[in-house]
A and B are shown apart, each in its own frame.
Chain A
Amino acid sequence: MVRGSKCYKVLQARGNANFRCLISPGCKAATEAPAEGTILRRNAAPISDSGYCRSFNYAAFSSTKCSQPESCTRIPLNLMRALANRSIDVSSLGASSSVQRTPVCSGSTGLIGSGGGLQSVRHLQTLAVTPTGPKIIKADTEETIEVSVDGHSLQIPKGMTVLQACEVAGKEIPRFCYHSRLSIAGNCRMCLVEVEKTPKPVASCAMPALPGMKIKTDTPLVKKAREGVMEFLLLNHPLDCPICDQGGECDLQDQSMVFGSDRGRFTDTKRSVVDKNLGPLVKTVMTRCIHCTRCVRFASEIAGVPDLGVLGRGGSEEIGTYVENLMTSELSGNVIDICPVGALTSKPFAFTARSWELKSTESIDVSDALGSNIRIDSRGPEVMRIIPRLNEEVNEEWISDKTRFSYDGLKRQRLNEPMIRRPGGYLEPVTWRAALSAVAQAVHQVKPEEMAGVVGKLADAESIIALKDFLNKLGCENTWCEGIGANIDADVRSKYLLNTTIAGVENADVFLLIGTQVRKEAPLLNARIRKAVRNNRAKVATIGPPIDLTYDHEDLGDGTDALIQIAEGKHPFSTLLSKAQHPVVIVGAGVFERSDKDAVMAVVETIVDQAKVVRDDWNGFNVLLLEAAHAAALDLGFVPGVTAKLLSKDHLKFLYLLGADDIKPDDIPKDAFVVYQGHHGDRSAYRANVILPGAAFTEKEGTYESTEGRTQQTSPAVPSVGDARDDWKIIRALSEVVGVQLPYDSVSAVRARFLAVSPNLFRVDELEPPTVWPQSITPRSSSSKIESSPFIKAIDNFYMTNSICRASRTMAQCTSAFANLKQI
């Protein structure tokens, strides 16, 4: 949601403040209130400057009288205000306020902290992006019907079931098989209600509400029906609640307390069912199963793997995999949550804790770039389990198995004290003071050009900005984030974010997936695409490594040939794409690391232009970032600066790795001084000269931006281990020892720094969609030619992508269990 109105108020309040042009070093901005704004490269604000920032892609404004007007791209302020204040119709302004095209200065800006410049002439097309969300049903009399629930009449939309009508009326109906995200089964019979003029109680979840229906939920008949159903359900349910992991959060327990009878009449022996092996994640105790078939429906409808099914009838009915088979889905852990009883529970969590002993902390997942909302359940200093939190716009109520089960990696291979590599080659535990002064000594011995900073996959925005400021203050611009390639374009947000948004993907009808294995890179986004395929009959085509996406899709080859054909209009898919109402193009991580990335992106942009994927009311161009740190790193401009000599690593003498583990030790020169700051002794720790122990995402309050541009914060659930510290604090302390002290002493001061650099990171829990789409792109480096080499797989093993996963035993079990299966 655009919070432009807030900016507008700030603008007024700061009426006579000093606005400085941040892109032209010589520009002496006037102190008057700006009549025109200068569009600037974001990320350009130096530390000392309290540059005023926009919620859009602009870092600051300058006044009317910019002393170097040719170096600024200008946009009339009224248009900006229009953008800021969403109440104004933007399209009407488009004609009257022409956007001037002036070249943006390129090259070094002379300002410390500058990222890559806008190196092309472009004009800006403004977009009115409608926030996508759940469709609101209008209270139209033609669309609604009147029913009465327990004597209260109410208007409900057509097509609702009786159960939903009761929910609207505030009457809670007990249920086991009904789940709002799954198809209706109607087999548990727990939701029986009485409807006037019907001979029997009706199953409310499966009965559509009809006009004039008189529903009764608290009559003696309903009470008796519920008691009877509950008694039947409990016939064959074992009485092992005291040793059941679902105990305390069991729907059957709760509902039998509320709706059940106080005694049963069953004296026979209970049936027993053989447990099924669903792999290393889901534990089954099938005797407890009440056959609600939620797991079967989840597997076939949402996860898209038809592994589970029902066998037999009556007393011999069983849920299981038809043949001995593991559940091969990245979302399989969710069946644990939707199982209303203890039939499906978490295998790693089994018998480790009871639900009521756990402290819950609401947090954010960092195992992929989607920023799934999670709840970290901890006991003392241990993370006991991770379960999803409801967020309709991000993860609905699902999380991937990597999110859910990799937490045991947080307890292994931890870096808990600073270490220095001694001449003998061994790492010696030292005090913080000694470690920091060792780093400072190394810093003072190298030139700024010989230094480099690399941000890893799990870094939070606070540590990224601290590292960037620290290195920039030293004069170093060799900064990059691993996994998004060397020459990523961080100038305009719409070029590297998932513009359609995760929830918005559901509305699309044609997909073109380029160089991405969505199922592995972002399983929940894949579930959304699957939803679009199911609901909208969306057509999906992939260009990239072949993969089973769990839905029908057309494989257009793994190289760039099909891409060029589509761009030239020669491919049959190009007509499909251009005729689509809501086309979506997703560029994935297979493209980022390519040497011809710019050329590929230019072709993609040609396709986007031709098929009108980006329109006034629909932005279908998406970049699916791979890791949690990426969006924030790009927003903060953690990309190679203009003076950076990135590709040759041979000259590097000082390397600061902020949790970067994918850099190969062979690529690091032998004499380079490597500082590794992170929480796991993963790959890079073995090469490090100094190890600075940081905090994992469960132990700190870190800001993360998801691939769709949503800023979210983790919360500390457990204390950090040993002597480890928050990451930004380590860099702040180091800067003081080195002698370039960073001007922030508290986390709020760091976040105030976000305001100067990328204000969207300051607004937590808000989606900040990019509002500007640059057109007439000339590629940054026109020299690169497109190659026909196939797109690489960005993720080879879904379960082993970051340092936490690699330390996790559960993930290792998954790797070995699913290694021989064709898909995962």
Chain B
Amino acid sequence: MVLAFLRSTIKAAKDNGWKAALEEVKKQGLVTSLLDGNLLATKLWTDDGARLVGVDKLGNKYFEKKVNSQFGRHRWVEYADKKQYNASAVPPEWHGWLHYITDHTPEQLEDLKPARYGIEHKLNRSGEGDAYIYHSKGHALNPKQRNWTRYEPWQPT
């Protein structure tokens, strides 16, 4: 419940003064959460029973709550980026855990990861100017542009 959050804020205020408490509010993204129902619902859901399973390299937090929760809704993520978030922020190693594909945590999954063709995870930036644009096989901008000339012309020396 939201109580856990309030508790942590009050604790910060008691320990370090109100300035620290405000920083904690900002860090927790309370203001943004108040305006964004999705985030607020996640905040409200993250109560005492929730266990923080891990934090990925982007800062996303992964929670699990096994008691008093509906099975199948007992794992969730709290995005680090409160403004531009979407599902592609979840890296593949957490994806499996988050979607109940595996019970392995990423630390365990690291050992299973194939070394040969794993590439770094990238967020989907479609619509944000960094989208992937497909160029056809014959397009000049395609770095792997196909040469449709099926013969080699003679090159006079």
Contact = CB atoms under 8 A, between A and B. Distances in A.
Contacts of B152: 411-414
Interface in A148-188: none
A414 B156 contact: no
Contacts of B156: 419, 426-427, 681, 685-686
Contacts of A380: 150
Interface of B: 150-157
Contacts of B157: 686
Nearest to B157: A686
Q: Is the interface of B mostly helix, strand, loop or mixed?
A: loop
* Nearest 6 CB-CB pairings of A with B: A681-B154, A427-B156, A411-B151, A416-B153, A382-B150, A413-B154
Given A381-B150, A411-B150, A681-B154, 9 more contacts: A380-B150, A381-B151, A382-B150, A414-B154, A416-B153, A426-B156, A686-B156, A721-B153, A722-B153
Q: Is the interface of A mostly helix, strand, loop or mixed?
A: loop
A415 interface: yes
Contact of B154 (A381, A382, A680): A680
Interface of A: 380-382, 410-417, 419, 426-427, 680-681, 685-686, 721-722
A382 B152 CA distance: 12
A685 B150 contact: no
A794 B152 CA distance: 30
B150 A416 contact: no
A723 to B, nearest CB: 10
A681 to B, nearest CB: 3
A410 B154 contact: no
A332 B150 CA distance: 28
A685 B152 CA distance: 16
Contacts of B150: 380-382, 411
A579 B152 CA distance: 57
**Of listed B151, B154, B155, residue having the most chain A CB within 10 A:** B154
A396 B30 CA distance: 89
A415 B151 contact: no
A722 B150 CA distance: 11
Nearest to B152: A412
B124 to A, nearest CB: 36
A263 to B, nearest CB: 39
B141 to A, nearest CB: 24
A496 B74 CA distance: 95
Contacts of A686: 156-157
Contacts of A722: 153
B151 A410 contact: yes
A697 B17 CA distance: 93
Nearest to B153: A416
**Of listed B152, B155, B157, residue having the most chain A CB within 10 A:** B152
B154 A685 contact: yes
B149 to A, nearest CB: 8
Contacts of A681: 154-156
Contacts of B155: 681
Contacts of A427: 156
A415 B156 CA distance: 10
A421 to B, nearest CB: 9
A761 to B, nearest CB: 30
A414 B157 CA distance: 14
B105 to A, nearest CB: 42
